[in-house]
Amino acid sequence: MTEPRSDIETEGRRDGGMEGCRDDELSDSEALSPALSFTPSEEATGTRLDTYLASQIPTTSRSQVRRAIELGKVLVNGQPIAKPAYEVSAGEEIQITLPETAPLEAKPEAIPLNIVHEDDEIIVINKAAGMVTHPGAGVVSGTLANALVYHLQQQALQLPRRGGSSRPGIVHRLDVGTSGLIVVAKTDRAHLYLAEQFQSRAVRKIYSALVYGKIKDDEGKIEAPIGRDPRSRVKMTIRPVGVGRDALSLYRVIERFEEFTLLDVEIKTGRTHQIRVHLAHINHPIIADPTYDLGKANSIKSAKLRSIINKLDRPFLHAARLSFLHPATNERVEFTASLPDDLQKFLALI
């Protein structure tokens, strides 16, 4: 199977929509993106064509895939398939050409940024929870990209071309509900250099996460493929090998509480919602994550604890450490960001 490459690596967005998902009508005259090719595995046999393709292209909605099928832009073994419900078979050569949607543009907005480090090549920002990384479906302002465009314009700097008009200089992103470190390129050279490191998994990304339950082992590994949930396009889930995309998370226990465990989680891949899905998969979902918490909040006996959890308005997930090779020096640099006030206060209450 050939996976499409992307310069954007992500832990994912909070519930409410995948970036890049649009249900707009598509016309046959629109510009087409390069064709993507896939070969289903044995485990994928019998899966609907639209479901299979949507699971392989996380930034594309199932409705977009169905529309491409209806336009004759999906070929199976060289022949157009007109039925989204067609069941794929192992070994088939599937090719899809998706019409491109009009690009969004990040307009400059004077939004304060918590800048951890800045030089001629990069900016490292401690993103606040609640801020979307860049414009996407349903979000056109108030994003990190809007703030960055304004920041660079104030320095009379030319915007990087790499990343496009909606996300100039952005190489990876964080879920809107996740706080913490994100690196942005100020030059095209830096963007290319950083993107290559994300692609080769040379970037180290470590998150702080508080989960339900006591994890027995001091450290562990979660290796399970992730793909779009066929029952809900705004959720991801564990999928069979060959259907989902490979995903690897490493965790280490920092502190155990009566009802919870504080973890350091290092992600070796950057799948949408990866940490949230993986921790839920081992039955230790993240606190205050209604999409993946498996109803764990209801199992807490203490009414006081349940009340504290209900008052936390975002998942307890923070990008605490980020390490990569600097584009100018080729030397490894590391940045850290302590837990924000809302998460520190939550820990103090439990």
**97 vs 57: CA distance, rounded Å:** 12
Q: Compute the C-alpha angle 168/17/244, nearest 5°.
A: 90
Q: Which residues contact 271 (CB under 8 A, 6 or more apart)?
A: 10, 12, 58, 226, 236, 245, 247, 277
**178 vs 85: CA distance, rounded Å:** 36
CB-based burial of residue 316 (10 Å sphere; 0-12 exposed, 13-18 middle, 19+ buried)? buried
Let me know if 175 is a catalytic residue: yes
CA atoms 161, 162, 164, 169: torsion sign:
negative
**239 vs 233: CA distance, rounded Å:** 14
**275 vs 265: CA distance, rounded Å:** 8
Pick the catalytic residue: 7, 15, 50, 175?
Answer: 175
Positions marked catalytic: 175
